[in-house]
Structure 1
C-alpha cells in the first residue's frame, strides 16, 4: 500500500526544500520527492554562488528581500554559520538605471550610495565603470547548495521524509487527495501537492490533474540553458581590495558576476550573461555544452569592463533558468495543487520566505501577493 502524507512536495531545490521545511514546522506530515538528490547539478539550486541583493526596480520585490532576512537568520542558526557571505553589490549601466534603483532602496530603508564612475573606480579599480554606480553593502553571496541541505535537514528533523531518485510522472485525483506515480510506477498518496520542479515543470504540467482553465492561465515557462564562466583574479585580493558582486546592464549585453567561492576554488569571479544561453524544451533537454561564440563574447566583455580579471576562463558550467515572460514568480493553486515557480533567475535570495508563502497558500492560512497568482489575473497580476 502506498505511503500517505498530508502534503507531497515535488522537487528538492531551494523552493521545494523551503516549502517542506515550513510545512513540517507547522506540524504537517510531509514527503519530498526528488528525481535525483537535493540540490543536484541538473537543477537550478546547486553550487555555492548566488547573488543576494536588495536592488530591484520595483519596491514590492525589494521589500520582500527585506522580509526574507528573518528566515535567513533562522537558517544561519540551523546551519551554525551564515549562509550569506557579505560582499556588497555594485549596479551600473544605462539599462540598469542606478539612480532609479537608489530611489527604491531609499523607499524600503536599505543603506546605499550613488557614486560617480570616477568615485567608483577609485574604490574598485578592478572594474571599468561606464555610468554612475549604485553600491549597497548589504548584498552578498548565497551558498545555494548548503541552504538546500540545511532546509532538508530541518524538515527531516521535524518528521518529513525525503524520497530520492523518485521522478514524478503524474499526480491524479484519488478520493479526497492525489495519487502520485513515479516513472517506475511506484506510488505515494497526498492530501495536497506542491510542485516546485524548476526546469522540469513544463513536462510535468500535462500530468497534473488540474482544471484546464487554471493550466491555461499559467504563463509560458521558458527553460534556458545558461552558461557561467569563472575568471581568475589578476591579483589575489588583499584586505584592502575586495570583490563585490555586480550587475551591469547596458544596451547589447547584460551581465552579472560574483565571487565564485567554493564553485571556483575561491580563485576568481563567476560571470554570466543574463538570458544569454539557449532555450530548451525542459530540463531533460540540457546537454551541458558550452557555445564557443558565447565564451568569446564574455571574454571580450571581461577585457573591456573587468580589467581586474585575467580574460581566460579556468572553469565553466551550464545551469538552468526557468523564465516567465514578465519575470514574475508563480505561486498559485487550484484543487489542492500548488504550483511554485519562483524563477527567471532571481529566486534564490527569497528562499526561506518562498517556503512561507507557498505554505500559506497551500494551507489556506494566508493569501500571497496577487501578482504571483496568474489564475487571478483579473484581480491584478501586476498589483
Structure 2
C-alpha cells in the first residue's frame, strides 16, 4: 500500500530534530511534525543553556556520551555555529560516585581530574566545597535554542520536510509497515500515512501512544530553576552538580541534587533535579513552588558565595521522568519511541537521534538499559521525591 512518507517524526524538539537530521542525512524521505511554533516554551528544548555533564560511569551512557561529543562537533562545523561552550564541569558531594566516574571516563579516554577541597575552592571561587571534587574539562553548556534551530536547518538542507504548528491528534498502527496519523494544522484535520513513525513527543508520549502502550510509565513535572545574579565578576563558573541527599542538611531543606551553570546575560542558573509538581502538559500551570524557590535561595547563601540570593529570576521547563530515570529508546513494530529523558538527556541529543534513526531503519536493536520492556527495580525518581522535605 502506498504511503505519504517513508519516515514520519512526531515531536520537533531536540530529539525529534536530531532524528530527522540523521534520517535525512542518510537519504531517507522524512517529514517532521511539530505541534508548536518555532522557539516555543512548552516543552523541554528551549533556552540558551543546558548542562553538558559528562559525569557517567554506566557503560551505556559513556558510549552515548563519546558519540554525542563527536556529533556535536560535526553539527557545529556543518552549521557554522558554536553549540557547546566547554567551560568545564565540576561535581562534588559524592566522593565514591565521583571516583567511579573518574575511572570510567579514564577508561574511555575522556579526561577528568580529582581536586582536593582546597584546590576546588581556589579554582572555582563562586562555590563552596566540603568534599573532594571531580573536574571534567570537556564539560560545559549547550545552547538549546540554537541546537534545535541548527539541526532543523541541516535536516531541511538534506531534504527533510518540517511542518510547525501541526498537532498530531491520534496515532493508529495499521500493520507492520503502515501507521495512520490524524493531524490538525489549525485549518483542517487530515490523515497522513507513513511506513514508520518515530515518536519524540516528550511529555505527550503516553497520550499519543494510548493506554495500551507497553513502555515504562512517564511522570511529567514542571521544573523551575532560577537565574541568580552573580556577585562580583572575579569568579569563573563551570557547569556544576552538587549531590546532597534529600531532607535536611546543615539546617537546609534539600529536595534533590543541585545542578547549575552560567547563562551569559541572565546569571547563574541553579535548580533542583526532578522535584517539580506533577502536571498535565496540556494544562501546564507555569507556577513555581514557593518552598522550593526559598530553599534554593538558602542553598545559594550557604554554597554559592559568588551569587546574590536576593536577586533571581525563575524559569520554567518540563521533565518527562521514567521511574528509574533511564531513557526509553526502542522500536515497537512500526513505531520507534524516544522518551523519558528525565532531565539529563540533552547532552546526548545527536547520538540519540542517530540511534533512533538506526532503530527505525532496522540498522540497530535496542540497548538493554533503554529497552521499553525492561523491569524497573529501583524507582529512583519516586524514592527521591518521597524523601524530599514536606511543607
Alignment partner, residue 178 of structure 2: 177
Deviations 1:127-164 (A, max 9, x none): 11121100111101000111111111111112211111
Task: Return the offset for 1:55.
Answer: 0.7
Task: Return the offset for 1:70.
Answer: 1.9
Alignment partner, residue 289 of structure 1: 287
**Residues 376, 295 of structure 1: CA spacing in aligned structure 2 closer, same or farther, 3 A cutoff?**
closer
Moved more, 91-100 or 81-90: 91-100
Counterpart Cα distance in 1 of 2:5 and 2:222: 34
**Residues 342, 290 of structure 1: CA spacing in aligned structure 2 closer, same or farther, 3 A cutoff?**
closer
Give the secondary-structure state (helix, strand or coil) at the position aligned to 1:311: strand
How many equivalent pairs are there? 362
Alignment partner, residue 269 of structure 1: 268
Task: Return the offset for 1:174.
Answer: 4.6
Counterpart Cα distance in 2 of 1:286 and 1:57: 35
Contact preservation (8 Å) 1:245, 1:258: yes
Mapped pair 1:299 → 2:297:
yes
Contact preservation (8 Å) 2:216, 2:373: no
Alignment partner, residue 232 of structure 1: 229
Alignment partner, residue 247 of structure 1: 241
Alignment partner, residue 344 of structure 2: 346
Give the secondary-structure state (helix, strand or coil) at the position aligned to 1:87: coil
Task: Return the offset for 1:96.
Answer: 7.6
Counterpart Cα distance in 1 of 2:59 and 2:25: 30
Alignment partner, residue 257 of structure 1: 260
Could you state the TM-score of these two structures normalised by the residue count of structure 1?
0.90
Contact preservation (8 Å) 1:55, 1:104: no
Deviations 1:351-380 (A, max 9, x none): 1111110011111012231221223669xx
Counterpart Cα distance in 1 of 2:60 and 2:159: 34
Gapped regions of structure 2 (runs ≥ 5): 247-253, 377-391
Deviations 1:230-257 (A, max 9, x none): 00110124xxx42111000112231000
Deviations 1:194-246 (A, max 9, x none): 10001111221218xxxx4xx23x11101111111000110124xxx421110
**Residues 242, 137 of structure 1: CA spacing in aligned structure 2 closer, same or farther, 3 A cutoff?**
same
Task: Return the offset for 1:348.
Answer: 0.6
Alignment partner, residue 381 of structure 1: none
**Residues 3, 160 of structure 1: CA spacing in aligned structure 2 closer, same or farther, 3 A cutoff?**
farther
Gapped regions of structure 1 (runs ≥ 5): 379-383
Counterpart Cα distance in 1 of 2:91 and 2:26: 39
**Residues 91, 233 of structure 1: CA spacing in aligned structure 2 closer, same or farther, 3 A cutoff?**
same
Contact preservation (8 Å) 2:331, 2:366: no
Deviations 1:89-121 (A, max 9, x none): 110113883222222222212111111111111
Alignment partner, residue 306 of structure 2: 308
Counterpart Cα distance in 1 of 2:13 and 2:285: 20
Counterpart Cα distance in 2 of 1:95 and 1:317: 30
Alignment partner, residue 194 of structure 1: 198
Task: Return the offset for 1:72.
Answer: 0.8
Alignment partner, residue 36 of structure 2: 36
Give the secondary-structure state (helix, strand or coil) at the position aligned to 2:223: strand
Give the secondary-structure state (helix, strand or coil) at the position aligned to 1:171: strand
Moved more, 54-63 or 250-259: 54-63
Counterpart Cα distance in 2 of 1:156 and 1:87: 31
Contact preservation (8 Å) 1:223, 1:320: yes
Alignment partner, residue 137 of structure 1: 137
Counterpart Cα distance in 1 of 2:362 and 2:375: 19
Contact preservation (8 Å) 1:92, 1:98: yes
1:55-66 aligned at under 5 Å gives the runs 55-66=55-66
Contact preservation (8 Å) 1:13, 1:38: no
